[in-house]
């Protein structure tokens, strides 16, 4: 697809025609492009508009929760349920806004600074421990000299989604390993869990928005169904690939492969000075 004019999009293909000739086929897809843009704007605007009233509601709810001793027990339970659902809605809105942003901007819009991934991965390990509340064994293997050129916020969001999935889809007592390593050329962020695993038929669809293997279970585990869609977009914007391997009942591995051009090597001294 090439922008010919601001409003015109053409899809151009070269197809074989006879034995030696080729046909240049151009199709006007401006209307598809406009519909896609309207969809994007609509989602972004609705998400944005929902944010403020929800924040107000959550503020009031918090006040009620603070005075909960004054309410009868059934009402106290309802209050905590309402707060949980409001927090979930807030997560969905934030994820939708993030996806609209990732969708709407080209890769050039990402920040391109050297990001201290070793510190980020250690922090994520601590977050995972807090989320797991001691229920899992969480290890990390981190190459301390390995940084990445990219957008710190986006990378944080993508990696955090993979780590929180590992905790949420691994039963208590399971094991989770985070690895930030280099194979000599590119860099690899890997999250391995010994959790419930995923049937092979679902794997190609996991990065679609709102796609979930088991809707009820995912809702129970507090997910939004948007996490892996965010991961996919962030990887695309960093020229990286996401590889998913899994066996039902044994666990899953999510691997993010970054190309050598993204890798920044820091000496230990530089790293200490800048952290």
Return residues touching ligand ADP (CB under 6 A): 161, 165-166, 169, 193, 195-198, 206, 211-214, 218, 223-229, 252
Where do we find the tokens 């034995």?
19
What is the edge-to-edge ordering of all strands in the sheet holding 21-28? Answer: 2-5, 8-17, 21-28
Nearer to ligand ADP, 110 or 218 (CB): 218
The minimum distance between CB 96 and ligand ADP, in angstroms, equals 12
Which of the 8 DSSP states describes residue 18?
T
Q: How far from each other are the two terminal CA atoms of the chain, in whole angstroms?
A: 43
Which of the 8 DSSP states describes residue 264?
E
CA 182/CA 202 separation, integer angstroms: 29
Residues near 41 by Cβ (< 8 Å), separated by ≥ 6? none
Phi, then psi, of 29 in degrees rounded to 5:
-115, 25
The minimum distance between CB 266 and ligand ADP, in angstroms, equals 30
| Residue with the shortest CB distance to ligand ADP | 223
Taken in order 102, 103, 109, 115, the sign of the CA dihedral is positive
The minimum distance between CB 203 and ligand ADP, in angstroms, equals 9
- Residue 236: CB atoms within 10 A of its CB come to 13
Nearer to ligand ADP, 110 or 165 (CB): 165
The minimum distance between CB 100 and ligand ADP, in angstroms, equals 16
Nearer to ligand ADP, 136 or 262 (CB): 136
Q: Which residues of 180-209 are buried (b: 16+ CB within 10 A; e: fewer)?
A: beeeeebbbbbbbbbbbbbeeeeeeebbee
Nearer to ligand ADP, 74 or 249 (CB): 249
CA separation, residue 124 to residues 18, 132, 221 (Å) = 58, 12, 18
Element (H, E) at 37: helix 30-66
Nearer to ligand ADP, 116 or 166 (CB): 166
Nearer to ligand ADP, 41 or 199 (CB): 199
Nearer to ligand ADP, 169 or 180 (CB): 169
């Amino acid at each position: 697809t090439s922008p010919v004019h601001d409003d015109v999009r053409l899809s151009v293909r070269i197809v074989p025609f006879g034995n030696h000739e080729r046909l240049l086929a151009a199709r006007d897809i401006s209307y598809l492009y406009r519909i896609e843009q309207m969809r994007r704007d609509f989602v972004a605007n609705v998400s944005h508009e929902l944010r403020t009233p929800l924040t107000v509601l959550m503020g009031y709810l918090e006040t009620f929760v603070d005075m909960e001793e004054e309410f009868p027990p059934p009402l106290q339970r309802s209050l905590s349920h309402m707060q949980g659902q409001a927090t979930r809605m807030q997560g969905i809105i934030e994820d939708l806004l993030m996806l609209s942003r990732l969708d709407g901007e080209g890769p050039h819009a990402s920040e391109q600074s050297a990001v201290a991934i070793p510190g980020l991965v250690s922090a994520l390990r601590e977050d995972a421990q807090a989320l797991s509340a001691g229920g899992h064994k969480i290890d990390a293997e981190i190459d301390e000299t390995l940084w990445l050129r990219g957008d710190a916020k986006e990378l944080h969001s993508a990696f955090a989604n993979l780590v929180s999935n590992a905790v949420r889809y691994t039963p208590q007592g399971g094991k989770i390993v985070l690895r930030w390593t280099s194979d000599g050329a590119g860099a690899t962020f890997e999250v391995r869990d010994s959790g419930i695993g995923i049937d092979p038929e679902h794997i190609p669809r996991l990065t679609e928005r709102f796609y979930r293997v088991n809707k009820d279970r995912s809702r129970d585990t507090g997910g939004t169904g948007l996490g892996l869609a965010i991961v996919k977009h962030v990887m695309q914007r960093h020229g990286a690939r996401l590889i998913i391997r899994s066996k039902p009942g044994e666990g899953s591995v999510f691997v993010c492969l970054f190309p050598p051009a993204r890798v920044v090597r820091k000496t230990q001294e530089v790293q200490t000075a800048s952290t």
